[in-house]
Structure 1
Amino acid sequence: MSKLDLNLLRVLQILLEELNVTLAAERMHLSQSAVSKHLARLRDMFNDQLFERTAQGLKATPRALELAPQLHLIIQQLEQLTRPTAFEPKKSKRQFTIHLLDTAYSLTFPFFMPELLNKAPNLRLKTKTWNPNSLDELLKCEIDIGIACREWDKRSPIHIDDIPSELNHVELIKEHSVCLVREHHPALKTKWDLKTFLHYRHIQVSFGGMEQWLLDDVLNLQQLTRDIAIDMPDFHSAMSLCEQSDLILCAPARYAEKLASSFKIRVLDIPVNIEPGAYVLLWNKHFEQDPGHQWLRELIINNVNEQSVLGI
């Protein structure tokens, strides 16, 4: 490790993220030849090829993949050492990475982004849809913030009390689910109860890495199941299908109510007793005293909580 050049670690990190010399060079404002020279030094430093060229770009070697999480943590710690003890939003060009559920975008970003853009015009947010790896990435400090769904119902496998101890969290928005049916759906002509609810086939939307809803967990405890006709990746497409068929769709209430006016659908209560859940802001305790991270967290929490209280 006597040959270790800390300045090259950032080059390796960006190459691992981009898997493309041209894109990495553009991102670092360097020439491709300069990046290639850095890569040659990195290969010598780690005694490994690190990347192989393919028709699709660069492919990381097993050694490079092994280095990736350690590299991220080392660079993060170095940035912590050189970061000012006070955060100045107006001057900051820092980038934060946020993973969040698709349904959380419209319930959060419109309420805190205007203030962020005004107070920190050069700050950058990189967002990605919450997925099965997001919690692990939070635990490894590979992302800054997560916005995910957690339940208060004790029957849920993702109960809010089961959030890993390495993470801190704040409840942003209370949430419950509703049932959507098309206008003139035959179910509207009968008594709306559990029997009617289960009589019709359903659209299932799998999001945030959840294969099954709390609703289904609760029904299973009663030896009951929904008849799922189709599993879809997003609610907008699911609502369009719901509008054109007798299929029933269950969706988070706040998100559904925002979209429902664009479709000819009716909103009904789900005839199953389930305690409301919540969208929660998650972050690793490693960032607890980080001034910039703290500023962003408080900005999101204050603005989103305010709109939640107002019922927007």
Structure 2
Amino acid sequence: MKQLDFNLLKVLEVLLEEQSVTAAATRLHLSQSAVSKQLNKLREALDDQLFERTAYGLKATPRALQLAPELRLLLQQLDKFTRPSTFEPAESRRTFRMHVVETAYSLTYPYFMPRLLKEAPLVSINSQTWSQDSMDKLLRCEIDMGIICREWDDRSLLHMNNIPVELGYAELIRDHPVCLVRQGHSLLSEEWNLETFLKYRHLQVAFGGLEHWLLDDVLKLSHLKRDIAVNMTDFNSALELCQHSDLVLCAPKKYVAQMIADYELVCLDVPVQLQPGAYVLVWHKHFELDPSHRWLRNLIVNGVQRLVKA
């Protein structure tokens, strides 16, 4: 093997994951021509084509596939080797990458960001909404941490015990769903039970990269299901629609408690026995001993604890 520029290894890792020069260039914030040039350097250094072009994108050669698992470990070790052993918040210019479920923003950021801005005025948080590919990015160490929803109910596939072993985590807040209906809704004059709950059509908000919830999984065990009239991805729009229709909206209690004061809505308990779920801070164990990473994790956990005690 010829002399290898270790800066090219990250390019190889991203190409192996994306199987596309265009997608790799986007992730690396480089031009397609720059990525192509670096791929040529990799081919020369490793004496292998590494990828073949097909109608569906790049196809890794056997040599590239052989390198893939060791490459990730090597890059993680190199990152640990070059990582500072100390962290001074007041001097740091680090940008942390976080993916967060929509409903967690208002329940967490106001409780740690003010202290962060005071202790580390040059540090930045690059936040994006948690989506279906966020877990893969977390497992590949492409993002620093995430805030996700998980369940304590044994009937859920999203149980806390099913968090990948590669991840460290800390529970932040427990919450449970409630029902919202407009003031004057006809069901308010009926006995509030499961039969009434299922009698009316529902409005559902999908968030956190998920499209169904523990409530529906539990109902399915009894061969029951809600009649979902509308699926949406925005809670503000859902609350507005709920206020102007007979649709029933189920939502996390702590989240909507901060919002329903602006709407003419009535809050009811869900007539199904459920264990509360949790908002959970998650990170790859690769970052476990990183002093800056540990500082931010502690800042988030300690700050949000004030909300729990309130």
**Is TM (by shorter chain) over 0.5?**
yes
| Contact 2:25–2:35 under 8 Å retained in 1 | no
Aligned ranges for residues 298-309 of structure 1 at < 5 Å? 298-309=298-309
- Alpha carbons of structure 1 residues 38 and 129: separation in structure 2 relative to 1, 3 Å: closer
Bigger drift between 249-258 and 218-227 goes to 218-227
Is residue 2:16 matched to residue 1:19?
no
- Alpha carbons of structure 1 residues 155 and 124: separation in structure 2 relative to 1, 3 Å: same
CA distance in 2, matches of 1:178, 1:75: 45
Matching residue of 2:18? none
Is residue 2:40 matched to residue 1:43?
yes
| Contact 1:43–1:49 under 8 Å retained in 2 | no
Matching residue of 1:159? 159
Matching residue of 2:168? 168
| Contact 1:151–1:276 under 8 Å retained in 2 | yes
Aligned ranges for residues 75-114 of structure 1 at < 5 Å? 75-114=75-114
Give the CA deviation at 1:124. 2.2
Q: Amino acid of the residue matched to residue 196 of structure 2?
A: T
CA distance in 2, matches of 1:187, 1:142: 48
Bigger drift between 87-96 and 289-298 goes to 87-96
CA distance in 2, matches of 1:3, 1:38: 19
Is residue 2:201 matched to residue 1:201?
yes
Matching residue of 1:55? none
DSSP 3-state at the match of 2:118 = helix
Matching residue of 1:29? none
| Contact 1:145–1:283 under 8 Å retained in 2 | yes
Cα displacement string for residues 121-152 of structure 1 (whole angstroms, at most 9, x for unaligned residues): 22222222222222233223222212111111
Give the CA deviation at 1:209. 2.4
Identity of aligned residues (%): 49
- Alpha carbons of structure 1 residues 222 and 261: separation in structure 2 relative to 1, 3 Å: same
CA distance in 2, matches of 1:143, 1:156: 26
TM-score (ref. length: structure 2): 0.83
- Alpha carbons of structure 1 residues 201 and 69: separation in structure 2 relative to 1, 3 Å: farther
DSSP 3-state at the match of 1:19 = helix
| Contact 2:97–2:125 under 8 Å retained in 1 | yes
Give the CA deviation at 1:78. 2.8
**Runs in 1 of length 4+ with deviation above 6 angstroms?**
10-18, 64-73
| Contact 1:182–1:265 under 8 Å retained in 2 | yes
Q: List runs of 5+ in structure 1 lacking aligned partners.
A: 26-31, 53-58
Give the CA deviation at 1:250. 0.1
Q: How many residues align?
A: 295
Cα displacement string for residues 38-88 of structure 1 (whole angstroms, at most 9, x for unaligned residues): 8535423335698x9xxxxxx984559989998776555433222221111
Cα root mean square deviation, aligned: 3.1
Q: Amino acid of the residue matched to residue 46 of structure 1?
A: R
| Contact 1:73–1:142 under 8 Å retained in 2 | no
CA distance in 1, matches of 2:23, 2:113: 26
Q: List runs of 5+ in structure 2 lacking aligned partners.
A: 16-20
Is residue 2:264 matched to residue 1:261?
no
Give the CA deviation at 1:162. 1.8
- Alpha carbons of structure 1 residues 16 and 97: separation in structure 2 relative to 1, 3 Å: farther
Bigger drift between 206-215 and 287-296 goes to 206-215
- Alpha carbons of structure 1 residues 89 and 44: separation in structure 2 relative to 1, 3 Å: same
TM-score (ref. length: structure 1): 0.83
| Contact 2:145–2:281 under 8 Å retained in 1 | yes
CA distance in 2, matches of 1:96, 1:174: 25
Give the CA deviation at 1:186. 0.9
CA distance in 2, matches of 1:2, 1:227: 64
CA distance in 1, matches of 2:78, 2:201: 55
